[in-house]
């Protein structure tokens, strides 16, 4: 490879069909127009990671006092602000760095999600083993999204009308339920209601990964038939 060689960047078709996409886009555009010039996309990416750490600490602290869960709720808001605005601000100001931004954003997403879900598993409300099933499901869907960029040129940001923002809203609702209901008694195989909910989400994500993989493989098989 010659010095200074830069790989050709193919435009990525971003597919986002989640329920709150239009309202969220309006809010993000409003915020982008009003953020001070000194605020950069990288600063927002870092802020999103701070939010993920706050969520993790909130869940961990809930072992001592349930009031720590309010820190987790606040962390979700901070995480949404930073994670949703970093790319939006770059596109709004037309200062995108496609390879750098793509790599950094999705690397941070993977680490942040690990902090969120492992934090849930280290709380007194959900078994760690169950939380790890949900984490595996999310990471499988992330792998599918990254592979789709390579083979289809599509970055799908939502499935079944749900995306990252809807997931955060569900997790905030789950956290509030933890706060008000407290640790629940086992319902099935020593698993409580929170375990069953988180486990069901994880199983749904794994099943969705399998379905999407089959669908994309069939599409590619048609577009690239066997060679004689």
In tens digits, what is the pLDDT along the chain, a chain of 228 residues? 445 545 444 556 656 566 677 787 888 889 999 999 999 999 999 999 999 999 999 999 999 999 999 999 999 999 999 988 998 899 889 998 988 988 998 899 999 999 999 999 999 999 999 999 999 999 998 898 888 888 887 776 666 666 778 888 999 999 999 999 877 777 778 888 899 999 999 999 999 999 999 999 999 999 888 877
Give how far Cα 143 sits from Cα of 37, 89, 151, 218, Å: 34, 25, 12, 18
CA–CA dist 174, 172 (Å, integer): 5
Report, in angstroms and rounded to the nearest whole number, the Rg of the chain calculated over CA atoms: 19
Q: Looking at the domain 16-223, which fold is it?
A: 1.20.120
Tally the C-alpha atoms within 13 A of residue 59's C-alpha that lie toward its C-beta. 27
Assess contact for 193 and 180: CB atoms under 8 A.
no
Give how far Cα 77 sits from Cα of 103, 114, 121, Å: 23, 17, 20
**What is the rounded end-to-end Cα distance, in angstroms, of the chain?**
33
Phi, psi of 185 (to 5 degrees): -75, 150
| Token duo for residue 88 | 């939006």
């Amino acid at each position: 490879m010659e010095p200074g060689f830069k790989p050709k960047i193919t435009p990525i078709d971003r597919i986002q069909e989640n329920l709150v996409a239009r309202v969220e886009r309006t809010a993000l555009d409003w915020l982008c127009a009003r953020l001070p010039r000194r605020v950069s996309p990288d600063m927002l990416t870092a802020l999103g990671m701070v939010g993920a750490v706050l969520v993790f600490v909130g869940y961990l602290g809930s072992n001592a006092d349930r009031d720590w869960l309010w820190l987790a709720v606040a962390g979700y808001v901070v995480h949404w602000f930073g994670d949703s605005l970093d790319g939006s601000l770059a596109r709004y100001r037309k200062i995108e760095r496609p390879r750098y931004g793509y790599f950094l954003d999705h690397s941070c997403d993977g680490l942040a999600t690990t902090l969120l879900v492992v934090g849930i598993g280290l709380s007194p409300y959900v078994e760690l083993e169950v939380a790890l099933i949900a984490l595996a499901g999310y990471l499988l869907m992330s792998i599918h999204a990254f592979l789709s960029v390579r083979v289809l040129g599509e970055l799908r940001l939502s499935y079944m009308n749900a995306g990252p923002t809807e997931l955060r809203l569900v997790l905030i609702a789950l956290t509030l339920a933890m706060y008000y209901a407290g640790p629940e008694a086992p319902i099935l195989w020593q698993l409580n209601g929170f375990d069953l909910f988180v486990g069901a989400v994880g199983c749904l994500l794994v099943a969705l990964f399998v379905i999407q993989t089959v669908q994309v493989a069939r599409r590619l098989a048609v577009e690239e038939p066997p060679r004689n």
